[in-house]
Amino acid sequence: MAVGVFDSGLGGLTVLDAVTRRLPDVPFVYFGDNAHAPYGVRDADDVYELTVAATERLFAAGCDLVILACNTASAAALRRMQESWVPRDKRVLGVFVPLIEALTERRWGDNSPPREVAVKHVALFATPATVRSRAFQRELAFRAIGVDVEAQACGGLVDAIEEGDMILAEALVRSHVDALKRKMPDPEAAILGCTHYPLMQEVFQDALGPEVAVYSQANLVADALADYLKRHPDMYGSGSDAMFLTTGDPRRVSGHATQFLRREISFISA
Ligand code: DGL
């Protein structure tokens, strides 16, 4: 009954942690494409090819349903994959929509026309590729009107987190928040639009100030997945073992993952 969780690297572990807590009986197979991270500086074709290869590996590991716990892949590759590549008996889902539904106070599947919502000024922090794709603004426009979104591409942040250089990561968060605030001095809400960023959530909150509501995806995705699996129990795959796969160096990746999740994580070669 395995389900796949994919990210370019370690960021998807924030989602994995939440889905594991929410669905403790499901064996999750995690794939970190650490050898090719960060995706955020790659072009859309490149992100598409890498995401397809990783998803194929997760299908081979007995997962019929794969969650792209990576905003960059969700923004740059998911639609193309769903339209022209995903086999009929498999599903690939992204992490954008649950977040936008929470921000716009919608329930899953509420396809009513866009309407005014409580928040008017939203800061989006994401990778350069996600910001460039404008996928967040597109999904938001389907659901809400009158929301001003200011996006900040957080160059360098994923690399620093992947390297485990948390001092540099903190400095980058603070400088990206400063840059955002020069463009939008008083955001009401901030979206952490990259699954690596919740690892720095306290620094984002501190730099933004207590009055800014910071939205991150992990728990929202976990709720959406639990709901999806209740409605589609046929999407549990044939795999029975949880595992952590990486294209990078398993020993190094396991060390960083263990540090981030504060529990022993052992990756093996994908
Ligand atoms: N965690 C990925 C995301 O959510 C990071 C992308 C990257 O590798 O740059 O976008």
Q: Which of 15, 75, 169, 194 is catalytic?
A: 194
- What is the band of 57 on the pLDDT scale with cuts at 50, 70, 90? very high
Q: How far apart are CA 97 and CA 80, in angstroms?
A: 16
Q: What is the pLDDT of residues 216-232, one digit of tens each?
A: 889 999 999 999 999 99
Domain boundaries, the chain: 3-96+218-269, 104-215
Q: What is the pLDDT of residues 59-109, one digit of tens each?
A: 999 999 999 999 999 999 999 999 999 999 999 999 988 889 888 888 766
Decide if 3-96+218-269 and 104-215 have a common fold: yes
- What is the band of 23 on the pLDDT scale with cuts at 50, 70, 90? very high
Helix (H, G, I), strand (E, B) or coil at 27: coil
Sign of the C-alpha dihedral, residues 202, 207, 211, 216?
negative
pLDDT at residue number 124:
97
Q: Using a 6 Å cutoff on CB, does residue 71 contact ligand 1?
A: yes
- What pairing do the DSSP bridges indicate for beta strands 121-126 and 148-153? parallel
* Average pLDDT of the residues in 21-31: 96
154 is catalytic: no
As beta bridge partners, residue 31 has: 6, 245
Q: How far apart are CA 28 and CA 131, in angstroms?
A: 29
Fold of 104-215: Rossmann fold (3.40.50)
Strands (E), 140-254: 144-145, 148-153, 189-192, 213-215, 243-246
| CATH node for 3-96+218-269 | 3.40.50.1860
Q: List C-alpha distances in Å: 14 to 70, 79, 181, 234, 241.
A: 11, 23, 26, 26, 20
DSSP 23: S
Q: What is the pLDDT of residues 236-257, one digit of tens each?
A: 888 889 999 999 999 999 999 9
pLDDT at residue number 197:
96
Q: Whose CA is nearest to atom 2 of ligand 1?
A: 70
Q: Taking 80 as the threshold, does the pLDDT of residue 194 lie above it?
A: yes
Q: What is the pLDDT of residues 113-156, one digit of tens each?
A: 999 998 999 999 999 999 999 999 999 999 999 999 999 999 99
Q: Which of 6, 8, 78, 124 to mutate to test the pocket of ligand 1 (most atoms within 8 A of CB)?
A: 8
